[in-house]
Structure 1
């Protein structure tokens, strides 16, 4: 349990409620709140130690804080015991090497740390306190704080959609406010090269510009690059002067910028303008460098020379992910290199190439970092991976003594939907609400204690295929970034979703003051239904994303209004029913009506014979289709069962039963390749051998709409039939995934 000391003397003179005083995000390690407050409108002198002289500028950015004279203090004297003080921590202060001590009392503001990083964290805690208290006053408080992880990262892809420099500075400011310290700048990819490289002018004359503004339009219409200055040129790049300006801007705020230069894959834009570096020698034929061509390595080294001269980061990211090996298999140069070096596979060839770049970076005093594919074929000594394909790559790296940063797609890819996809702009197919983000613990399960030190941090990624503007980036990033900040900073035992959510309510005003286009919590009602097979009973929990929702519902089919039953406790029903629910502010409905169908049907608990087995998404295994449970908004929620070769399942009632209707819900979201079936057919049999068809439905829904949809495929019989076996079949003409949640039979 966390030991949290909160001293609060109740007084009518104090305007600080306990929840407001400790509403910082991320949650500090130890907080002591005292009676009293410090007004910000009186001039305070600023004293700072030499180690923190450059940070004094940050103090002037704290809103509302009035600063008088400032002084560099080489030896602390009696007159330096008042005002705003940025001093070195001493042994008696018991400050963590990466932490800080913040004290606010009648003497003013005292901040102590061992180094710049700790002091910056303290300054931004002070800044948050000012925002949270309307930039007028601060509570008397003592905060002793330290980070859980040294690496606390946020990524931004500017290749798919170029982002303007003022926004990048705002992004850095928001990262600093929430104690993130690593900005992973994804500046090259197939959709556009975004950094000036003086030795290769075509990278910014042409490879930075494409034929269509929106990534999706470009992707679907030829994927062509055009010369800067042509009428349809869309894109942009950052000059080296601009990059240096951003690097310095971030450094003042305690943030290191890690550049990513893709190699050997995701390089279509490079090979379009320098096709001699491809296996074919022709533009627009591949996205991977020819690894048997010495020119490919020389290109990377020349580019890295200019990158290293700009970026002081010890880490240089080279991507290394999703490389297609097919061109290497058929390339005489690549095959000759494999033979010469004794490489047995194209994976080993890729590893060889990564090691060449790693050695070059080491010769320049830098460290290589890449996506977890670089572990295939063997990691170069000292390399670090970003584990995006789950926890297994990180565990594998850590066990082998390599460092890893956790950035799994299921929890840390903020390009996925954060609420009901049916209500949102197009995103990737993933479903990642705020609470799921917050639930993530970056230490892989089962990792030995002595290997945990190799998990050096956590990072969230924003891939911008579907984010054409910076406002859209903000919408997808916030408030999920605040959950990330607490994951990265606060010890696991100190984290609590309800407490975080309570503090978050006060940070909406901060985001509003900073003009952040964050995602607003929805009023829409959602439900969680659990079925008790022993009691044949459904229990329904209703919720919305509001902190204190006002939900009213009916069970008689009527539309809920202000007089309908207010939801307070889970609803229990032992029969087939329909619940209608909606959110209200006072007497006004502020959400659509959510309909929850509860089916207590004949097939619950019956055995399922799979003619075609599920693939990839087992859900609850062979109990999924008759467990009485419906799937939710995500195909990864454990109730949707996935099929790629069609759907064919048989229910065995063990005796003849009267059959009136058969239905199955299917999901469609084309982005990740999930489609409705082409044809849905129901057959029945008495002996399990001879089946007769009782109904069929052909899907009329097109697949151009990218939005999430659900459809009940149902056969209703005009006259009931008797049968022991019911076979349900569905075709898969789109060759993607079919997801089914329950076979409902009456």
Structure 2
């Protein structure tokens, strides 16, 4: 496990600044720790000392400057402990100190751009628009918080001319699968603003919940906002946002120059709405609000009654959200219900529509036309390209980047939001203490390397690329700390990819600017992930008696220094640096973390004990999927658990695990710890692919085979009967003598109609290990 976080501070060498082509003065010692990196930075000599006596000046009547100044003052008070007054001053344009002012002749002409100058007399921020002043204030705040210290600070002399690369710099939060409180939404909006992100895509409706109050249709929230969790009896789970709360959140975002783009899913992901009003569905049946993640079959009907219903919903959506774009989903709408409905088929014939994909295009275009009549624009996921993209639509590409390329070539505006790279519900590492999420690991480096404009686009086509957006889907992110862990610091990488000129981005420089950002996170109570810097430990036996071991240490970011101890103390900057594998006699406990060049710790301390028992115990990372090694998901013990809970790596299609290269000499028994997990997955057309195996008992067994899943049977352990989701189990069996090193294939024969089998740990025992010192 890893221990408590330690303090971090900025470290950014002059050489790293040179990588960016920054104009660095010979007397300057460091470039500024600003994220995202400004378009142009020139460093000068000396600096400006800011103390509690400093004042922020704005001109009378300059409302944009006043709002930016007050936001800056509030941030400084909360994070640096500097309470600087904001003074309206007619001489603000000439006075020293900190000056923020609107200037129609500012040298940066691009929208949202700003100029920031620092010299010995003070700091000046100018811009042509309010957003530019606000972003200039954010950069000023970062300059004044280069470390975790409080009080006075010296800011280097510099000149910044800055503007964004893309107009759409977004983050999507899924509130439909798991509901977040308004205060949690606002905390995320603040963090977005401090990364110069300007679009909050709010996913408000889906099969598992309708979260937006619609006055005309109250059952959408009375019924559609609540579901009964699997395996949790009669309790209800859910919540929704009142229109008053939405207006407050939209205003809060606007004050931070963030546009809120709502998503109302259609024609699929409609089960919660149909649960509330069955007449807008296809079958006339009233389903429950779904408890199943994935793809569910319920679609909206295509008759005029349903079209009018959705137009009425959009009326209230447009009343609440002044955004130009309204997102209508359009993804994962399997057409089974439309195909089976005589009424839908008759409607298609009457309209002269050839197939169901074309019917979806017609449906989306009806919504697009309605939005256009009200001065709004429709945007949807890239499935709206199927059947012919409606002329009025813009496209958000999530199935890779091809949808964006295709749409841009057709003349449609696009936003890049591709899975898996910008899907932040993917884990950041394979470390055992990562929370639940998708197992397709997306590292900090992979997000930073993302490029929104494909070389397949011409210059004219590339102008249709509005920008980029990361998505936080919450099927497996059930609590605010998990959302923060998933978002930060990958959101820094996304922000720089969306703001900074492509030729100015350098990953090593970005990494050097992160320690200061981590200190800001801690000051604001953001539970960021240190996965890129955390130490991963691997052990290998050196002899047959297993009293000698070789331990390798590694971190994702190879440029950092790993320091470790073996004497029970915590590593510090003077602890031994790791250069080659550590050879030790068992038992041994190793603690390690990574350090920046100035000796600042970069991650929590990883501590692991190695002895005969732990070397014969296999969990998490060691439990690979079979036959291809891909398990797919890391799920919590209960689907809606909000407090820290055990997690399990699973493949919903095949309850099978492989443990590679296991020494079986002298092994006499095997113990397996696991849990019954909710099988709450909407698999649609893939449901028939779930692997079922013959069992010998009512609840099934865990079978252990050698080398392959068809290899010799080493052990069979009946699973406990009457397992319910959220319950754990322990099974054990003797193992016949085999000797040598083998792969173990472990699979479940439990019925696939009930709870899903999860494994957490496989432990092997031998007379020697039983005698080992604990």
Change (3 A) 1:242 1:647: closer
Provide the C-alpha distance between the structure 1 equivalents of 2:429 and 2:630, rounded to a whole number of angstroms: 24
Change in 2 beyond 3 A, CA 1:36/1:727: closer
Alpha-carbon offset, residue 527 of structure 1: 7.4
TM-score where L is the length of structure 1: 0.72
Task: Report if the CA contact (8 A) 1:292-1:336 is conserved.
Answer: no
Provide Cα deviations, 1:456-509, integer angstroms capped at 9, x if missing partner: 211111122233332332232222212221121112222222221221111111
Counterpart Cα distance in 1 of 2:68 and 2:276? 43
Residue 543 of structure 1: aligned partner: 555
Mapped to 1, the partners of 2:657 and 2:431 lie a distance apart of 25
Of 85, 91, 96, 1:67 maps to 85
1:47 aligns with one of 52, 58, 65: 58
Tell me, yes or no, if structure 1 residue 392 matches structure 2 residue 402: yes
Instruction: Please list the CA deviations of residues 334-360 of structure 1 after superposition, one character each: whole Å capped at 9, or x if unmatched.
Output: 111111122222111111111110111
Cα distance, 1:188 vs structure 2: 1.5
Tell me if 1:153 matches 2:170: yes
- The answer as to whether partners of 2:325 and 2:379 remain within 8 angstroms in 1 is yes
CA contact (8 A) 1:195 1:240 kept: yes
Match status 1:583 vs 2:592:
yes
Tell me if 1:127 matches 2:127: no
1:33 Cα offset (Å): 2.6
Counterpart among 427, 442, 449 of residue 432 in structure 1 = 442
Describe the superposition over 1:427-469 as per-residue Cα deviations: whole angstroms up to 9, x where unpaired.
2333223233223222335444442222221111112223333
CA-CA distance at 1:528 after TM superposition: 10
Partner residue of 2:152 out of 136, 149, 156: 136
Secondary structure at the aligned position of 2:466 is classed as strand
2:274 paired with 1:271:
yes
Structure 2 counterpart SS, 1:168 = helix
Note the C-alpha offset of 1:125: 0.8
Superposition deviation, residue 240 in structure 1: 1.7
SS of the equivalent of 1:422 reads coil
Q: How many aligned positions are there?
A: 641
Preserved contact between residue 181 and residue 255 of structure 1 (Cα < 8 Å): yes
Q: 2-side partners of 1:571 and 1:407: how far apart?
A: 40
When structure 1 is superposed on structure 2, of 728-737 and 197-206 the one drifting more is 728-737
1:681 and 1:115 mapped to 2: Cα distance?
Answer: 68
Q: What CA deviation, in whole Å up to 9, does each residue of 1:268-323 have, x standing for no partner?
A: 11111111111111210775344332221111100111111121100001111111
The corresponding residue for 1:169 is 186
Distance in 2 separating the partners of 1:676 and 1:507 = 49
1:515 alignment partner in structure 2: 525
CA contact (8 A) 1:681 1:730 kept: yes
Cα distance in 2 between the residues matched to 1:704 and 1:525: 36
Unmatched 5+ residue regions in structure 1? 11-16, 212-217, 225-231, 530-537, 574-578, 596-611, 618-633, 649-659, 662-667, 685-691, 708-714, 721-725, 738-746
Q: CA deviation at 1:184?
A: 0.6
Q: Give the C-alpha shift of residue 550 in structure 1.
A: 2.8
DSSP-derived class of the 1:444 partner: coil
From 304, 314, 318, the equivalent of 1:294 is 304
Q: Could you tell me which of 469, 473, 477 is aligned with 1:463? A: 473
Of residues 240, 253, 257, the one that matches 1:250 is: 253
Say whether the 8 Å CA contact 2:54–2:97 is kept in structure 1. Answer: no
Partner residue of 2:687?
none
Q: Any gaps of 5 or more consecutive residues in structure 2?
A: 1-18, 77-81, 289-295, 540-549, 612-625, 632-647, 659-664, 667-673, 684-689, 694-701, 728-734, 758-774
Residue 235 in structure 1 maps to residue 238 in structure 2:
yes
Counterparts of 1:683 and 1:36, CA distance in 2:
66
- Alignment partner, residue 598 of structure 1: none
**Maintained 8 Å contact 1:526/1:594:** no
Q: Please say if residues 290 and 334 of structure 1, whose CA atoms lie closer than 8 Å, have aligned partners that are also in contact.
A: no
Identify which of 214, 232, 242 aligns with 1:197.
214
SS in 2 for 1:324: coil
Equivalent position to 2:608, from 584, 592, 600:
592
Alignment of 1:9 with 2:27, yes or no, is yes
Cα separation, 1, equivalents of 2:208 and 2:657: 37
CA shift digits 1:137-194 (9 cap, x unpaired): 3333211112121110011111222222222222111111110000011112222222
Q: Name the residue aligned to 1:451.
A: 461
Q: Is the partner of 2:334 in helix, strand or coil?
A: coil
Residue 305 of structure 1 aligns to a residue whose secondary structure is helix
Q: CA deviation at 1:32?
A: 2.1
Sort the Cα spacing of 1:683 and 1:65 in 2 relative to 1 into closer, same or farther, 3 A: closer
- Which residue of structure 2 aligns with residue 655 of structure 1? none
Instruction: Specify which of 331, 341, 352 is matched with residue 331 of structure 1.
Output: 341
1:475, 1:517 within 8 Å by CA — same for their partners in 2?
yes
Matches within 5 A, 1:189-228: 189-211=206-228, 218-219=229-230
Deviation at residue 374 of structure 1 after TM alignment: 1.1
Asked if 1 retains the 8 angstrom alpha-carbon contact of 2:364 and 2:384, the reply is: yes
Q: What do the CA deviations read for 1:99-142 (whole angstroms, capped 9, x no partner)?
A: 21101223432212222222221111112222336453333321
**Secondary structure in structure 2 of the residue aligned to 1:512:** helix
Native 8 Å contact 1:582 1:594 kept in 2: no
Preserved contact between residue 292 and residue 333 of structure 1 (Cα < 8 Å): no
Tell me which residue corresponds to 1:485.
Answer: 495
The CA distance in 1 between the partners of 2:704 and 2:251, in whole Å, is: 61
Q: Is the 8 A contact 2:201 2:263 kept in 1?
A: yes
Q: Give the Cα separation in 2 of the matches to 1:732 and 1:329.
A: 36
d(CA) in 1 for partners of 2:194, 2:167: 16
What is the deviation of 1:419?
A: 2.8
Once the two structures are overlaid, the 10-residue window that deviates more, 382-391 or 303-312, is: 382-391
* Structure 2: distance between partners of 1:274 and 1:373: 25
**Deviation sequence 1:54-82 (CA, Å, 0-9, x none):** 44123123212623531479xx97x4676
User: RMSD across aligned C-alpha pairs, in angstroms?
Assistant: 5.0
Contact preservation (8 Å) 1:292, 1:335: no
Closer, same or farther: CA 499–397 of 1 in aligned 2, 3 Å: same
Q: Show CA shifts across 1:368-424 (max 9, x none).
A: 011111111111113222111111211111222222211122111112222335323
Q: 1:253 offset after TM fit, Å? A: 1.1
Q: 1:32 aligns with which of 23, 42, 55?
A: 42
- Residue of structure 2 equivalent to 1:605: none
Q: Which residue is 2:285 aligned to? A: 282
Q: Residues 549 and 297 of structure 1: is their aligned pair in 2 closer, same or farther, counting only changes over 3 Å?
A: same
What secondary structure does 2:512 align onto? Answer: helix
Deviation, 1:5, is 0.9
Residue 304 and residue 551 in structure 1: after superposition, are their counterparts in 2 closer, same or farther (change >3 A)? same
Q: Equivalents in 1 of 2:630, 2:412: separation in Å?
A: 29
Q: Deviations over 1:659-705 (max 9, x none)?
A: x99xxxxxx99999999997676799xxxxxxx97776668899999
Greater relative contact order (Cα 8 A, min sep 6): structure 1 or 2? 2
CA contact (8 A) 2:64 2:133 kept: no
